[in-house]
Amino acid sequence: MKEFHLEYFEEAVNYMLQHTQVKGPGIGLLGHSKGGDLCVSMASFLKGITATALINGSVANVGAVLHYKDITIPPLGVNLKRIKVSKSGIADIIDALNNPLEGPDQQSFIPLEKAECCFLFIVGQDDHNWKSEFFAVEGSKRLQAHGKEKPEIVCYPGAGHYIEPPFFPMCAASMHLLFGKPVMWGGEPKAHCEAQIDAWQQIQAFFHKHLTGKPSGTSSKL
């Protein structure tokens, strides 16, 4: 993962907007983890985005340089010395990223105040990949400081990083391709399971409200 060009994702957005089965006038974005900050970047710079939902996403650009036209956003800095490794060899990387509110790392904060959409932040409060709640709160502060609507933030105590659709087994740890070692994702099984069930409902209700203008009345079953 060396760099991202937002034009690649813009092509997908335009394809969806022109699709005969897409009602329009805008579309929704759903992103998890790195996909979350990509969705924030898409919402900030691209046209046609009406609603953006993030699952344990970042509001700073992470992992690789982001380009769009003449704009370049550097990745948030990382300090590998802050990684803790357990006796079993599993790393806890929650403190590895720098603070996007400090020094040169402020350049990595995505200008989400440019977005013309509503935001939903789904947050696992036991996320050990990074500080998802911090990102959600700081994103909310920035939006409101620029006169934008306060985003919805739904926090789940005991939920880890991989909040997936209901009844997917919790992934407590696995190989992290960027760090090249197994890492812990966080989460307590029961609380995480319950979070996945509720988050599924929250995300659907959010998209129904902002994409159709109607409350969610359809079946939420998989």
Contact 56, 185 (CB under 8 A): no
List, in order, residues 6 or more apart from 133 with CB less than 8 Å away. 123, 125, 127, 155
Q: Tally Cβ neighbours within 10 Å of residue 51.
A: 21
104 to each of 34, 73, 94, 132, how far by Cα in Å?
21, 11, 20, 21
Contact 212, 167 (CB under 8 A): no
Distance CA 85, CA 93 (A): 9
Contact 59, 130 (CB under 8 A): no
Active site residue 127: yes
Residue 62 has φ and ψ, to the nearest 5°, of -125, 140
Distance CA 209, CA 215 (A): 5
Distance CA 154, CA 205 (A): 13
Residue 136 has φ and ψ, to the nearest 5°, of -65, -45
Q: Of these residues, 33, 108, 132, 140, which one is catalytic? A: 33
Active site residue 161: yes
Look at the block and give the residue holding tokens 């924030």: 40
Q: Of these residues, 127, 132, 140, 210, which one is catalytic? A: 127
Q: Of these residues, 37, 108, 161, 192, which one is catalytic? A: 161
Q: Which residues are catalytic?
A: 33, 127, 161
